[in-house]
Structures are given as C-alpha cells and as structure tokens.
Amino acid sequence: MNQLINKVKMLEFPKFVEKDEDGKWGRNFIAITDSESIPFEIKRIFYIYGVESKELVRGKHANRKSEFVLFNISGSSKVRIISEDSRMEVYTLDRPNVGLYLPHMIWKEMYEFSEDSVMMVLSSEGYDAEEYIRNFDEFVHEVHAMRHGKYKNREKRKQTVKWRRKEPCKLSTPS
C-alpha cells in the first residue's frame, strides 16, 4: 500500500458571497490561511495560465521535498497522480475554493486546461530544480529506496526496545 498517495486529498475553503451596500452587486471572497487549513508553511506561490491547447500536459514529475496545494482559481483542469505501483487517480479542479493537497513523492500530471484556466499552486518549499524527479522509473526506484530505509530504521528501533527490556530482568536475577 502506498502511504503517500493515501494522503492526497481535496481541501475545501469557505466561500463568502457578499453584496455591496445597496445589495445590488455581489462578489465572492475566499481567504486561505495556512495556519488553519494548509498542511504546511507556504514558502512559494506560482501560477500556470494562458495555456493555448487542451493537448498540453504539464508536470510529469515528482518532488523529493515539496508539498503542494493546487487550485484552479479560474476555469478548470485535471490532475492525474500515479503511484509507484501504477495506481492512478484523477482529480478535476474547477472551483476556486477547492484545492488538491499533494504530499512529496507523488507523480503528477496536469492536463485538459480550459482556455480561461488559472492554476494557482502553493508550495512548502522554494524552487529547487534538484528536488524534481522527471523520470518515472527513477521515481519508482526512489520510493522503494525510501521505504527500504524506513524499514531498516524500524528494525533498529525494535532492537533498541528489546535491549532495554532486558534490563529489569537482569536486576531481578539474584547474583
């Protein structure tokens, strides 16, 4: 089971509909406050817009460190995420108050941008080209390596606990 892909989720933010003093002209208002609902401290915001063709596919990468929340604050797009075992999920972004949270090490592809699409991306990290994995096989390899590392650490922890548990036994044994 891929733990990281299970952390992917849609985040919905409250939308306020307000009218002017005369009650004639309305407007919508959305506030995104990181401390309340974004699962990381925002270090970078960028936009993808002016996409000229429905054929365009962006992304096609995973990030070693960065976590993201993607919004279509105008228009619509789709986001395809793929796990290292080729499990695929597709999300549609078409509401300015709904964002898609992606943890690190998720393979992502953004596509089917509408003409008026403005995709706003919040990120937990500044831009660093070195933390992008742009080859799917390399991504799969690194996810497996990451898991293996975690597994080894868990084994080490077990050994430490075992060793500690021996201590009281030693003390209670008469010399």
For residue 5, state whether it binds ligand TYD (rule: CB under 6 A): no
Binding to ligand TYD (CB under 6 A) within 127-146 occurs at 127
**Residue of 5, 8, 48, 79 that binds ligand TYD (CB under 6 A):** 48
Joined together, the tokens standing for residue 106 give 């998720």
Q: Is 105 left (phi over 0), alpha (psi -120 to 50) or beta?
A: left
From 61, 104, 141, 148, the catalytic residue: 61
Minimum distance from residue 36 beta carbon to ligand TYD (Å): 24
34 by DSSP, 3-state: which? helix
Minimum distance from residue 4 beta carbon to ligand TYD (Å): 18
Q: Is 61 a catalytic residue?
A: yes
Span near ligand TYD by CB under 6 A; candidates 28-36, 41-49, 75-83, 136-144: 41-49
Taking the CA of residue 12 as centre, how many other CA atoms within 13 Å lie in the half-sphere pointing to its CB?
5
Span near ligand TYD by CB under 6 A; candidates 40-48, 85-93, 136-144, 162-170: 40-48
Q: Using alpha carbons only, give the angle 29, 43, 70 rounded to the nearest 5 degrees.
A: 50
87 by DSSP, 3-state: which? coil
d(CA 61, CA 1): 21
What amino acid positions are annotated as catalytic residues?
A: 61
Given the rule CB under 6 A, which residues bind ligand TYD? 44, 46, 48, 58-59, 127
